[in-house]
Chain A
Amino acid sequence: MGPTPHIAVIGGGSTGAGIARDLAMRGLDVTLVEQGNLTHGTTGRMHGLLHSGGRYAVSDQASATECIEENRVLRDIASHCVEMTGGLFVKRPEDSEEYFQKKLSGCEECGIPAEVVSGEEARAMEPHLAKDIDKAISVPDGAIDPFRLVVANAASAQEHGARIETHSKVTDLLVESGEVVGIEVEHDSGPGKRVHGTEGGTEQIRADYVVNATGAWAGRIGDMAGLDIEVRPSKGVMTIMNIRQVDTVINRCRPKGDADIVVPHETTAILGTTDEEVEDPEDYPEEQWEVDMMIDTLSELIPMLDEARTIRSFWGVRPLYEPPDVGSDDPTDITRDFFLLDHDERDDLPGMTSIVGGKFTTYRMMGEQIADHVCGKFGIDADCRTADEPLPGSEDFSVLRDYMDEFGLRSPIGRRSVERLGSRADEVLKTDGPNPTVCECEGVTRAEIQDAIEGSGSDLNAVRIRTRASMGNCQGGFCSHRMASELHSEYDEPVVREAWDELLQERWKGQRHALWGEQLSQAALNYALHATTQNRDQDPADGDPVDFSAFDSGRGQTGGSVDSADVAADGGTNGY
């Protein structure tokens, strides 16, 4: 055997992280590069549904079958990222009975456990369902935390020797003698963990093979070597409510349509979604009608949504792909399946494969196929172990202990920390000092924040996605400065200030689509806290120098020794 092949994986979404873990576990050298944070792309902007496959049981049975298989695997290997809420496909009186029956038989054909429940039974499970719901089909849908899952995959890859570079953008493919031999990367802040204010730089990373897992961006990477990869990005909106109106995933049982699903996620419920083709995965319109439609249409299933408070809305783009000869007009007709494009076979350019399409739920399976493919190239015969080995955080984690006494945490907070951390709870929460709560909305403690900082450098948005801090009702109004202070034990003040500003701005962005009613009042409160109480909008540390001597220095000082030459006397006006 020759030396261990080195594989460069581009893209830190679920697909790239899954591939990196699989390859690293099979003993290959892996470098994963991501232009933003982990989950910067579509993975950080999706609905969080662990598909049972029920949604595709009529239209796309191949995908449905993959979903239920992977649904079972993820419950096992990623138990700390999954909440098995169960799901319902509910039928309103005006929805087709024929389709209802097709859904039911489709589930059976794909091996998805499905059961019909009456309207009353459905309302007993979910009291806020509309009174006129006829009946429903129950399926094993679940909620899954994409951030936690991707971070756990990256951590596992790292444990197996992989190098993970975030905030590092691939700017070119290195092509020599008609073969891809590596990537050119621009680091935002130097290699390693991100630290604000550290000078970046360009690095050429040579690799024996390159995997392009950039989802909706795959075409851009292709362009770098003159390849044509026709990804058809399609956007969808998701609107986050401030509470969980439902504890079960609620789907509307009809063929296809916008605004037909509600997923309970942690303390919130997320309404979705739409499906509209866009030109550019980074720059597309985010519109008011989309948010209004989520609320108005889903109120037909859950009437209380009409008056409920939303905390923000966000959009994601599906990396849909279809082979050039299909030609669907409507993005909802494009398959949800994934495609492995070997550019040697397809375009006579050896050294790189792209993976496009697919779903979050099937990320591991996608990783397995790519890893098989890559290992095949190098004649490596290594088994895939990702379906059997739990992710860090999900190992031997059977009982949720009550950590209240053990770690001095208030009960609901201790419980939530332990749910998030899974089997890592002991390691993270056992600290010497006191462990106060930093984010009250989501119950995130100092120890978790510190653990996240260790993993992600000075990037508070990365800390946020790892811990959920600042993602609750107040959207960072009360905790942003606390999170910044937690950084200060490790980083200098200017670095902290920059990370803090970046977090504030990011938190503001998504709220734009929720600014009426309670959430507008919350925004007004946050604005007052940050601008009035803290004066962060006019912080002299970021602005022009202030002439302190021109301001009131007090009625007179007692105690201490004062260098009188330095003392400003009331700015010269109206002395006392």
Chain B
Amino acid sequence: MSLPTEGQMAIESEVLVIGGGLGGLTSALAAAREGADVRLVSYKQSTLRQASGLVDVLGYTPDGDGPLTDPYEAIPSLPAEHPYRKVGVGTVRDAMALFDDAVPTYEGEHTDTNALLPTHGGSIKPTARYPAGASAGLASDTRDTLLVGIEEMVDFDAPHVAAHLDATGVPFDVRGETIRFPGDLRADAKVTRYAKLLDTNSEVAVRGRMVPAREALAQRVNPLLEDEQRVGFPAILGDDNPGAIRDSLSDHLGVDVFEVPMGPPSLPGLRLEDALFSALDEAGASIETGNPVVDFEGEDRIEKVFIEKNGAKIPNSADQYVLATGGFVGKGVESDREGVYEPVFDCHVPHAADRYDWFDGELFGDHEFARYGVATDDDLRPLDASDDSEFENLRAAGSVLGGYDFAAEKSGSGVSIATGYAAGQRAAQEAR
């Protein structure tokens, strides 16, 4: 029995995953599918809200070679501290298979070869998995393309994106047109407002007549369509029913319709987050969001962690723990003028002593900070400054890991999925 001073019985599970981003969700899913009793606790919305929703595995080597056609082929020659090297290429493949199974609305699993997708800035980027909604937009597909922007949406300027895409050498003709969105959304409407209108397909006034929103949108685009065989929109085509919206636009226009992934707030990212939360829910995990893990007890083993909720500290205990709190963006790694640290367990984060060595003077130079995070052994256990494991029952997954620059390599989601999978599976096996 717990001591009276502790006041409260701990909430127990076999595996406790801290963090609800791609790393934590995959980890919890892998552990649950392994048969463990899993609990996931997460504080805020993850970086999927900011991410494009594309699932990159590896687009460029750390030396900048690429775009790589086959991401798996390059993994064995990555530096030894790279998380992919810790888990090995076989695990990366297994992890992607778990992802494909859990998120059927994604495509790309039919091949090992990377796809090139148009970005909302007009460049193209290599990725391994893409939402079904983006699949008609692949840059290796040679069909001529019309991009349609919305006059009041500053994040996607279709004529500019088209001209930029053309400059990348895409094997098709591409043109951009700008329309006024039907209905009267105000100039600063958020993408979710557009999505909602298309989801509900509410009627909007078009020259005094009421027309369902999807049809009204297609009517705006139809006269602009020339010989193009596909039409791309910014990723605003619905939150709940993106497939149905694409289909109905496609019917009205008589050509394929796709979305170009966007910056924050990113609907494809949010849709992916939803899909993973439902998969996890189905797998029977317990999920708590909205409150941070702020403290823990334990020396060599973590005995319990404390979640702060309405000013109280609620103990949670488990046999095995997974740290998936993200990197600098997700707040799993933090810094001040003196140094870089991991705030929950104070795991060692290797970094340069002089903060002016953390970054490069060139915008896209070799930024050390991008590779900062906890270092681990091959079992993904965080290591202290003398290379001993910090805690015997803690593993780390996702962006909280160091040793790779996901932005330069285009490996963000892939590393989170692979390490999440490995950490979750091993935690579950050990908890049995």
Contact = CB atoms under 8 A, between A and B. Distances in A.
Are A and B interaction partners? yes
B124 A540 contact: yes
Given A512-B359, A512-B361, A517-B335, A488 B157 contact: yes
B404 to A, nearest CB: 12
A549 B112 CA distance: 14
Given A436-B188, A515-B369, A523-B369, A554 B116 contact: no
A416 to B, nearest CB: 14
Nearest to A555: B110
Interface string B256-272: 10000111100000000
Nearest to B359: A515
Given A488-B163, A536-B364, A524 B369 contact: yes
Nearest to B338: A516
B327 interface: yes
Given A528-B50, A532-B410, A566-B142, A549 B126 contact: no
Interface string B26-70: 000000000000000000000100111000100110001011011
B171 A436 contact: no
Given A535-B410, A554-B138, A288 B356 contact: yes
B139 interface: yes
A573 B70 contact: yes
A156 to B, nearest CB: 31
Interface in B342-371: 354-356, 358-359, 361-364, 367, 369-370
A318 interface: no
Interface string B402-423: 0000111010100000000000
B154 A551 contact: no
Interface residues of B, number: 92
Contact of A436 (B124, B152, B263, B370): B152
Contacts of B64: 538
A44 to B, nearest CB: 20
Contacts of A516: 335-337, 355
A535 B125 contact: yes
Interface string A514-547: 0111001101110111111111111111000110
Interface in B114-172: 114-116, 119-126, 135-136, 138-143, 151-155, 157, 159-160, 163-164, 166-171
B108 interface: yes
A438 B155 CA distance: 9
A158 interface: no
Contacts of A554: 107, 115, 135-136, 138, 140-141
Given A488-B159, A549-B171, A533 B119 contact: yes
A116 interface: no
A63 to B, nearest CB: 36
Contact of A538 (B60, B111, B250): B60
B123 A540 contact: yes
A6 interface: no
A80 interface: no
Interface in A482-535: 482, 484-486, 488-489, 492-494, 496-497, 504-505, 508-509, 512, 515-517, 520-521, 523-525, 527-535
B250 A559 contact: yes
A177 interface: no
Nearest to B355: A516
B367 A529 contact: no
A524 B328 contact: yes
A546 B408 contact: no
A566 B136 contact: no
A410 B188 contact: yes
B187 A533 contact: no
Nearest to B141: A553
Given A532-B52, A536-B364, A555-B110, A548 B335 contact: no
A555 B407 contact: no
Of A413, A528, A552, the most chain B CB neighbours within 10 A belong to A552
Interface of A: 288, 292, 295, 408-410, 413, 433-438, 446, 478-479, 481-482, 484-486, 488-489, 492-494, 496-497, 504-505, 508-509, 512, 515-517, 520-521, 523-525, 527-541, 545-546, 548-555, 557-563, 566-568, 570-576
Interface of B: 47, 50-52, 56, 59-60, 64, 66-67, 69-70, 107-108, 110-116, 119-126, 135-136, 138-143, 151-155, 157, 159-160, 163-164, 166-171, 180, 186-188, 229-230, 250, 254-256, 261-264, 327-329, 331, 334-337, 354-356, 358-359, 361-364, 367, 369-370, 406-408, 410, 412
11 contacts: A481-B155, A485-B160, A520-B358, A521-B329, A524-B369, A535-B119, A535-B121, A552-B114, A555-B107, A557-B141, A560-B230
